[in-house]
Amino acid sequence: MDLNTAFDRLKQAHLNGHLSYEQRIELLTRLDVAVRRQREDIVAACSADFGRRARIETLAADVMVTLDEIKYARKNLRRWMRPQSRSVNLTFKPARGEIRYTPLGVVGVVAPWNYPFQLAIIPLVNAIAAGNRVMIKPSEFTPTVSALIEKLLGDVFSSDEVVVVQGDAEIGAAFTRLPFDHLLFTGSTAVGKHVMAAAAANLTPVTLELGGKSPALITPEFPVAQAAERIAFGKCFNAGQTCVAPDYVLLPQDQLEGFITAFSDSVKRRYPDLANDADYTGIINERQSSRLAAWLAEAQSAG
């Protein structure tokens, strides 16, 4: 694929006319249907790329949150698009002021491998809701999911609405040098610096979600066992490959041994026999399991 040709096609489509409210709702609805219909394919693709990944993890972390985002956008889109009145200075009376929200143009999305589906599709949802055209560069480290994304989006969108670009780091670097109207990148801080430098050449605004260190703080009055249970969930979910997974814990010295014991017990309960478990559902607590079960029932009936 020639990146410049694909970009120019999207840009020209934007210049030819903005997506209306009805068009945006139609596209989001079609995307919702496609994700629901292919949810088990998404599960299989993630498991193939990860070596193995629990079905419940993919449904919770990649599928359910994506559908929730689509639902939220569809529910609020009309309100988001509505012009907002603003007062004007006496000098300009009897004029009146308004803020009108218009699409930027072509939005670029560079997605990472740790949540390969939702971190590509959720930015797409928001960009489409805002009336933009979109180019997506999924991770080369999850080729099965990336191929599924390209096929799924190709069935939902036309080539002048959404384009998926496949390729290695060299293609990714060329992608970030395109003159986008906005560029979103999720990944490491080191790569994020290169992305920002590439975007700066075109004065492209960027949104960077970068890696870092996430502390967990336990205050003296908080139950240490409860804190350990929550921290264990956050650290172990998706094998710890989450941008906000806790990296270290700050707590009173006299609670250290109690925390270590409670944390170890929680991990053992969640992963009693990881090497042999086909689908380790212990990673999800009772409340989360109930919500996921209810969502799956709704998705089944809607799919």
Total Cβ atoms within 10 A of residue 110: 25
Q: DSSP for 27-65?
A: HHHHHHHHHHHTHHHHHHHHHHHHS---HHHHIIIIIIH
DSSP-derived letter for residue 242 is S
* DSSP label of 94: T
199-to-67, 234, 303 alpha-carbon distances in Å = 30, 33, 40
Q: Is 46 a catalytic residue?
A: no
Q: Return the closest-CA partner of residue 69 out of 112, 20, 115, 10.
A: 115
What is the DSSP pairing of strand 84-86 with strand 97-99?
antiparallel
Helix (H, G, I), strand (E, B) or coil at 131: coil
209 is catalytic: yes
Q: Pick the catalytic residue: 46, 209, 229, 286? A: 209
Of the residues 236, 243, 286, 298, only one is catalytic, namely 243
- The answer to whether 125 and 66 are in contact (CB under 8 A) is yes
- For residues 36 and 163, give the distance between their C-alpha atoms in angstroms, rounded to a whole number: 21
Contact indicator for 250, 218 with CB cutoff of 8 Å: yes
Tokens for 266?
């929680």
d(Cα 251, Cα 259) in Å, to the nearest integer? Answer: 9
CA–CA separation, 171 and 62 (whole Å):
25
DSSP string, 159-207: TTTEEE----HHHHHHHHTS--SEEEEEE-HHHHHHHHHHHHTTT--EE
The tokens of 79 are what?
């309100």
Residues recognised as catalytic: 209, 243
